[in-house]
Amino acid sequence: MSILLKLWGAGTARTLRPIWMAEELEIDYELIPIGPRTGETQTKEFTSLNPKQKIPAMQHKDLNLSESLAICKYLQRNFKSKNIFLPNDEVSIAKEEEWCDFIYGELDETSLYVMRRHYDLKEIYGESPVVVKACRQYFLKQLNVIEEHLKSQETILKNGFGLADIFLMTCLDWAIFYEFSLPKNISSYRDKISKRTAYQKAMKINYSN
């Protein structure tokens, strides 16, 4: 039987997210582990799948989807599993949306990815120590919100491990790579989540190349 789900992209924090979600949900999928700046996203085949020429991307039956958050939400809602909390009431849906938007918008896009552009990729986007320093300070400010939140619970939502935790963990790993020191509650949280079998498997798959 042919595999109906394909994931494109490996090697980054953003590609880890759908791979990890698929592993938590125990989905049978095929990974095409192309990189972000190898020329593989510029091919005619991939451009027809995702005109943005970005990874990650997903194919499922007749659906083509891009953006790590959209892909993970789709998988979460279409391949249900006891391993992942799925909000099913108005309040928990809204809270998950709030946390995912906060993590993706403030930690990923506004802080870590801007650092990546002027730190890892300075040959492309230009070096800017001022920008990197400002991003580090902003990241730590936003991290304090999560540190306080995790004083009273072990996962982002009280109902259990879910989508927001996948997004937060990928940002925390990214932060460790950038030599941030994590505060007490977040450090304990990260240690616990990192013991998940699906996380460990996804890490090996995503970074194997």
Domain count, the chain: 2
- Note the pTM of the prediction, 2 decimals: 0.95
Degrees to nearest 5, angle at CA 199 with 116 and 33: 60
> How many C-beta neighbours within 10 Å does residue 75 have?
26
> Do 173 and 102 sit in the same domain of this protein?
yes
Are 136 and 111 members of one domain? yes
pLDDT digits 0-9 by tens, 144-156: 999 999 999 999 9
Closest to 96 in 3D by CA, of 159, 152, 185: 159
**pLDDT of res. 1:** 41
Q: Which CATH number is 55's domain given?
A: 3.40.30.10
For residue 53, what are the domain limits?
Answer: 5-84+200-206
Contact 43, 55 (CB under 8 A): no
Both 73 and 135 in one domain: the answer is no
Output the domain CATH number for residue 187: 1.20.1050.10
pLDDT of residue 76: 97
**Residue 151, exposed/middle/buried by CB under 10 A (0-12, 13-18, 19+)?**
exposed
Task: Please give the chain's pLDDT, 209 residues, in tens.
Answer: 456 899 999 999 999 999 999 999 999 999 999 999 889 999 999 999 999 999 999 999 999 999 999 999 999 999 989 999 999 999 999 999 999 999 999 999 999 999 988 988 788 889 899 999 999 999 999 999 999 999 999 999 999 999 999 999 999 999 999 999 999 999 999 999 999 999 999 999 999 96
